[in-house]
Structures are given as structure tokens and as C-alpha cells.
Structure 1
């Protein structure tokens, strides 16, 4: 047992010299380093200083007995973990229970057998060493955990910073390619876009343009014109985004936007744009012509099938919409000026709207965008008309559309009669007045040869 016990430290506490001598010789012969104490006080001092692997503690001692000594050992942080083996001639169970309750790990009954003492001490020394190894491993594990937690915290900070940079980068990218466009192409990032990416969809297209932009800005310097356009776009673009749309491109003063979801989104966005521009100040850039809120825009809305994709070449590409819908929508925006309305809807767009939204619309003409194409009805959206115009146009819608049908059937007298009644109720209806004058002109001069009641839209 000598090699196995080499290095183990045992403290023997006994007030009987014979017992000390026998135990000292036995344990020393087994390879233990042996310390001795003859009373409880000296035992407490040596235990604190030497931190032995095991304490053999006699129960019956003067002054401080073994039970009190054990209690104090277990009360101290320095000595609490040292195994205590009681040595006693007491054989009552109650005494053994008391010792175990105080923290003892074993009992040796006097007179003791030397081999039994050696085996019990060796067992508890090994257990003590194992305990130290476990404590050391736990301490190392705790240090490793602390290190890992620190590293995880550092990596978490690094990751958060990287994510913040990525979000900032994505926001920067989205200024050039809308995230909604990426979603429709099935791409997670602008880095994933490839030339020729495409998807077919049905959506609503919007064109917004300033009335008389060239005339209004021709006296402005280039930098003044740019500042004006940016101020204007800052009013228009948010209204589009707030209603589930996104700007596809800016072309001069025109804004082309896409609404991939409900068609009503585009109608609400059109109304929001008109509201956003009501107090647009033109006086600061020399465009004020005598009345506030005089910046007027025309908006065209059309719905249909289209191809969204990337075009260009590997070093320079852009996302775009390819469809006849684009040209038709741009032409609708131009027609708002001719028909003196703020917003025009194509018939395919109009048919998809709810009854509630259509209550603020009326058919105002039949047009042909292509000489070889079919004619299409176009509808005025008057939800943003000033004052009582919205209510009056609702009240007179049937009267107006009946007069329009007469006009398309070349019954100009009936047209003039119906619109005359309408204008008595709403003399400020510019669309009705324009049609009234045209019918009156045809009554006097006759319709042009080949006239069909369809307005042929000039090409862009």
C-alpha cells in the first residue's frame, strides 16, 4: 500500500500517547505523512495550516471533545471538506448518528485493528483525491465556461455589428433595387440577382407625372430643378410604400410604381399622393403662380399581366417591368391633362375594384391606345376632388354615363340635353362641360369623317 498512499497526509487527534504511537507507526509504514495533535484546539490549528487528506479524530478528549472539534471543522470554510473518521470506544448507535450528523464520513471502534485502520484511511484518502480531481475539473470547466461565455458574448457583439452592417448595406441596396422586387424574383439579396432573372405576374402599375413640368421648371437652374424634384419625390414615394407598393423607377418628373397585391392599394396610394401634395410650397423656387397648393399631378393606373426581370449586361443591369401595361399606364397619366382629371383608371383596373371604391369613379371616355388594338373604357377617380365635387359627381354619375353613351352613339342632341341638366346641378364639373361643348360643336359642325366616339390616343 506504500506507493498508493505516498503523499497522503493524515492528522491523528488523540489524547492517549499509546494510541498516537501505534497509529503513527502503522500509517507511516503505509506511506502516509502523519501529523499528530493531542487535543481539539491544536487539531483545529493544524487542520487549517496543513489541510490534511483525512483526520482521525478521537471522540473522548478533555476540554473540547471530538464532536465539538468536528463541528468547528465543518463550520470553517478552510477545513469543511476534509474527511473526518471518528475513533471511539462508544458503541451506542446514538453516538454514531450524532457523529454522522456533524459531518463524519466513517467510524473506527476501539480497540482498533491496524489493518482495518490502514484500509479505511487509504479508502478515504483516495476518495479525497478523487474529490480534489473533481473539484479541479469543475473549476477548469467553470473557467472554460466563463471563457466560452466571454467568447460567445464577443461573437454575439460581432454578429450583431455584422448584422447591423448588413442591414445598413441592404437598406443602401434597396434604394436602388426595391426589396419587394427581390422578393418577387425569389432572391434574398441583391447579390443573388442574375442577368435574365424573371417572373410573370399580374399587378397594378402606376404612373405619376407633374402637370406642366417643363413649363414650370424651364427657368430653373439644373441644381434648382434637382432640389425641386427631390422634394417632390419625398412626398410621393412614402405614400406609395405606405400602401404596399414600391417605386420601380424615376424618369424625369415621372414616377413608375408597382403594386403587387390588392388593386385597391394603388387607388389608396393615388389618393394619398394628392393629399401629400396639397400644401407643397412652390413659392420658394419661383414657381408660385398666385394660389397655394398649385402643384398638380396626373396619375394613371392600369392592371394586367407583366414580366418582371433583369435586363442589361453582366457589368450593368437593372430590374424592370416588360409589358404593354407600361405604355398604357404612361398614356393614361398623359390623358389626365386632356380630360382635366387627377387620376385615370383603365377598365381592366376598374373591374377589379370593390363596389366601395368604384363609388368614387365614373367612365369618362372610350380610348384606343393602338391603332390595331381594341378600344378601352377609362374611368375618372374623383375621391380627392375639392369641396362638394365628390358628392355631386356621385349623385350625377348615372346622368353623366348615360350622356356619354349617347355621345358614343352619335346622339349629340341627347348628349347636350343630359349634360345640360347635369351642369345645372354641378356647373364646376369640368369633364362634363368639356363633353357638352364637344357635343354642341358636333351638332353645329358635324362629326369628323369616320368618327366613332373613340378617342385615338397619340403614341408616346
Structure 2
């Protein structure tokens, strides 16, 4: 609460700032002339008090409901017109940081008011007949937050405790969450221990590592668009100062630091980083790295590279049947619920999603073929958890098929001047898709080609068996296809493992046209494991050949 005089009459100002858990801040201001306290309370005064008290619970309810939807809020308080003479009040400036003192300007005099927390500015316009208004643009409604709605995290690195404290005070008032480090090595250690800052503010003259070494260490792990670095330097010639950009920094500021410039620069680089993060959701950063591009703006139509990679295709079984029973909105909710669980699993195994094709996923792995298989197995384990969730809410389980192939492919950009897309072109891609389609035919979950098998570091680490010798159109040699059944339910997995030798002998007899011997092997498999759908398919084929 504060008070001031207007035309020799005391005026009272109440400012009631508070926050709601959902992230919205509100400020209610009431200006009332002292005469309304001294004189008997009239209906207008009672109305003012009633509205002011009512505004608090209404603001809390509205804040919880609408979150952070509006860029500015306005609180209007009424007073008697004669209590606010013309030309007396020009402006009231509330502080822009906790350390600033607000000043009220009136008729050539100035009076200080208590400091309010947060970043606020109140403007009382020159008086006009009617009701004066006080507008409070609430900065926290527009504060910098990332897509997960967590506060932006800044890592401030400086070996001077005074400077470190000052920078922390500046930036905390701008709604950032500040993490401190008093040395370069401490900063690097914090990042290696899973601190994920959105921006680093670094003092160039720090003692343990120079700015160049520090930036190089950070850039070994993060590209410039993933983690911006802003360097603080002493006043030096331009040629010396701009060297920091060659270190890998995004920007620099020379001392003395002006708070508003510092905050403005930080916001600019955070905005650019957020834009790049948004772009990466459409063009994966791994795609840019394979094309040896630092940013999406560097990509041109026709850029390409030749690379050996493993390609993973996955598809939801009977999706059309499932989809027909849902509304369009339910379809998208279902697909996104499924895909959002599979994407992290693929990325955790050093892969990236090249494209979504409806309910299908096409993922690429530029490292070991083991990464692709580990991702496929992890997807099946994740599917078990997802189906448990679906069962809890009354939905039927979902089944998927996964096919993996390894080979050389061309990765690049295709399209026209106004629309281009990243893609891969190769027979290896087509074969991966063909192998995935076999999972439905045989009723299994994960199949790989012999090209992928040949690239495995330790094939015996996986539970697998030979399934098929696939004839590929346009190719003279057949492709051996193997089932990986590590992701099967434990009882089925153990049964397949116990009969793997008998089953593979049956497959070899079958492709050697020894159908009677093959049938005997498959009958034995089914005796030990009646749930083996592949053995049943081969047994039926053998009997058909014997008849013909």
C-alpha cells in the first residue's frame, strides 16, 4: 500500500500482486481518495471495495482456467472525478527489477514508493473526465519458456563473486532460472552431470580455461544452434573482440554490462535456439549432420550424401480396421499416443525418424546395425507397456511389425523451389519395407535381412532363427530373412529358442525340396510349441507340395 497527494488531497494506492499455480501472474490496483475514508461511505465507495475484494477470487479462478493465454491484462479502479484534477498525475513507474525504486511524478515533485517484486510497469494516463485506469502488462505471461513449459535455464560462469551475484540478480528478475559456476571446469562438470542449460553466459577472462578452450569444449558436445554461448569481454579493439565468434560463441557483450541490452541479447539467442529446435522436429539434426550442414538454412535442393545405414520400418497391424471404429479426432489421438512412445526409444538407440507415413515409422541408423535391432526390441517392450495402459482404459491391444535391412543409400533433398523434403533413395529401403510386410504374413514381430545379420557385432547375443529365403524382384540372389524374437513374451520366446535348431533344419529341407523331411521337423516343432505360427505355415506348405 502507498499514498500520495493530488491537489492537496491524499490518495491511497493498493497493489495486490500474486501468482496462480498454473503459471499466470495477476496484479490488481485500486486508487481511492482519502475523502472516501473520512466521509460517510457512499454506495460508489462500497461498490469499489466490493469489486476489489471480488476481483481476487475471480482472478484466481480465471488464472487456473485460462493459463497463459493473454499478452496483457488491465485492472481499472474507479475514483471520484474531482479527486483527480487535470495535469497532476502523469505517470507512475513500477520497478523493472527487484532492486529498482519506483517513482511517482506529481506537479514537479517526486516521491518514492515501496518496491514491488517482478517486472511490471504501470501507467496512469493524464486525467480525462470519467474513470482513470492503470494498465499492468504482466511480463510473466510472455516470459521465455521452452516447449515443455519449464523455466528457461541459464548457466552463468564467472570467477568474480560480485559479478556473478549481479548477473544472477539481473537475470532472475527476467524470470530465468539461474545456475552458477565459478570456473570453466565447474561449468563443464555440471553439464557432464546432466545439467541442461538453454544458454551459457561466460566471462572471457576467467582464470582456469580461456574463452577459446571453454567454447571448444562445449562445442564438442553441442552445436551453436543447440546451446547458445554469450561471452562477456573487457573493452578491446573490434578485431580482438570478434575473435570470440571464432571460438564457437554465438555473441559477445563488452563491459560495463547494461541490463536491458543483456536481457535483450539473451532473449534473441533463446528465440533463435527455439526456432532451430522447432525446425529439428521437421528436419532431424542427424539429417543435417549427415549432409555436413550446420543449420537448416544451409541446406540446398539436391544436397546429398552416400552412406551405409540400417533402415527400420514399423507398421501397426490392421490399422484400417482399428481406424474405422474411431472418429478423426480419436484417430489422431491414438496415432500420436503410439508414436510419442516409440520416438524416444528409437532416439535412445542412436537412430532418428526419417518420416512418419500415417501409422508407419521409417527410422535410420548410421552407426552399428545392432542399434537398429536394439531399437526394434525396445519398441516391442514399450508396446507391451502401452497395451497395458490401453487395457486399463478398456481398449484392445495393438500389434506391430518391424523390418530391418542394412545397405548403402543416398540421403539428400528432393522437391522444387518452394517445397523440398529430405529423403533416402535405395533398393535397401525398398527391401526393408518388403521385410516388414513379411511380419504380417508370418505372424511375427521383428524380421531382419542377412545384410543386417552380417553387420552384427555378436549375432549370438540375439535370439534368432532363419525364417525365409526371399526372392526379390530384379535380383538374381535370394535374401535370407531372420526372425529376432527377444521381444516376444517369455514363454513363447523360450519355446522358440528350444526348437530353433529343429525349425531351421525344416526350413533348409523345405528350400531343398525335401518336403517330407521338412514336414516332419515342423510337426516336431508344433508338438513342442503349438503357438509357433511360422512352423504351422511351413507345415501347410509342405503338405500342399506333397499333394501336388
TM-score bracket, shorter-length normalisation: 0.5 to 0.7
More helix by share: 1
Q: Against the structure 1 CA distance between its residues 296 and 357, is the aligned structure 2 distance closer, same or farther, given a 3 Å change threshold?
A: farther
Structure 2 partner of 1:388 = 491
Deviation at residue 302 of structure 1 after TM alignment: 0.4
- Alignment partner of 1:355 is 2:458: yes
CA distance in 1, matches of 2:447, 2:257: 61
Structure 1 partner of 2:412 = 309
Question: What TM-score, normalized by structure 1, do the two folds share?
Answer: 0.61
Structure 1 partner of 2:294 = 188
**Equivalent position to 2:422, from 319, 339, 360:** 319
Deviation at residue 318 of structure 1 after TM alignment: 0.6
Aligned to 1:427, what secondary structure does the other structure show? Answer: coil
Deviation at residue 376 of structure 1 after TM alignment: 0.7
CA distance in 2, matches of 1:398, 1:377: 16
CA distance in 2, matches of 1:156, 1:409: 76
Aligned to 1:363, what secondary structure does the other structure show? Answer: strand
Structure 1 partner of 2:283 = 177
Q: Deviations over 1:137-194 (max 9, x none)?
A: xxxx9xxxxx953337665544433332222111100010000000000000011110
Structure 1 partner of 2:512 = 409
Structure 2 partner of 1:203 = 309
Q: Is residue 462–residue 484 contact of structure 2 (8 Å, CA) maintained in 1? A: no
Q: Which has the higher contact order (CA 8 A, sep 6+)?
A: 1
Q: Is residue 448–residue 483 contact of structure 2 (8 Å, CA) maintained in 1? A: yes
Q: Is residue 453–residue 459 contact of structure 2 (8 Å, CA) maintained in 1? A: no
Structure 2 partner of 1:271 = 377
Aligned to 2:489, what secondary structure does the other structure show? Answer: coil
Q: Is residue 404–residue 452 contact of structure 2 (8 Å, CA) maintained in 1? A: yes
Aligned to 2:456, what secondary structure does the other structure show? Answer: coil
Could you list the runs of 5+ residues in structure 1 that have no partner in the other structure? 1-140, 142-146, 289-293, 447-460
Structure 1 partner of 2:268 = 162
Structure 2 partner of 1:346 = 449
Structure 2 partner of 1:427 = 530
Q: Against the structure 1 CA distance between its residues 394 and 355, is the aligned structure 2 distance closer, same or farther, given a 3 Å change threshold?
A: farther
Deviation at residue 283 of structure 1 after TM alignment: 6.2
How many residues in Structure 1 have an aligned counterpart in Structure 2? 295
Q: Deviations over 1:208-242 (max 9, x none)?
A: 10000001111222221111111111011111111
Deviation at residue 396 of structure 1 after TM alignment: 2.1
Q: Is residue 403–residue 439 contact of structure 2 (8 Å, CA) maintained in 1? A: yes
Structure 1 partner of 2:213 = none
Deviation at residue 387 of structure 1 after TM alignment: 2.2
CA distance in 2, matches of 1:334, 1:285: 30
CA distance in 1, matches of 2:264, 2:373: 45
CA distance in 2, matches of 1:264, 1:304: 14
CA distance in 2, matches of 1:408, 1:181: 41
Aligned to 1:238, what secondary structure does the other structure show? Answer: helix
Mapping 1:41-440, distance limit 5 Å: 149-151=255-257, 156-280=262-386, 281-282=389-390, 288=396, 294-356=397-459, 359-440=462-543
CA distance in 1, matches of 2:487, 2:375: 12
Question: What TM-score, normalized by structure 2, do the two folds share?
Answer: 0.51
Q: Deviations over 1:425-460 (max 9, x none)?
A: 2222221122122212322x12xxxxxxxxxxxxxx
Deviation at residue 359 of structure 1 after TM alignment: 3.5
CA distance in 1, matches of 2:474, 2:395: 38
CA distance in 2, matches of 1:179, 1:381: 30
Higher Cα Rg, which structure: 1
Aligned to 1:261, what secondary structure does the other structure show? Answer: coil
CA distance in 2, matches of 1:247, 1:260: 12
Q: Against the structure 1 CA distance between its residues 331 and 261, is the aligned structure 2 distance closer, same or farther, given a 3 Å change threshold?
A: same
Deviation at residue 385 of structure 1 after TM alignment: 1.1
Deviation at residue 357 of structure 1 after TM alignment: 5.2
Deviation at residue 247 of structure 1 after TM alignment: 0.5
Q: Against the structure 1 CA distance between its residues 327 and 287, is the aligned structure 2 distance closer, same or farther, given a 3 Å change threshold?
A: farther
Q: Against the structure 1 CA distance between its residues 287 and 217, is the aligned structure 2 distance closer, same or farther, given a 3 Å change threshold?
A: farther
Deviation at residue 244 of structure 1 after TM alignment: 0.4
Deviation at residue 296 of structure 1 after TM alignment: 0.5
Structure 2 partner of 1:28 = none
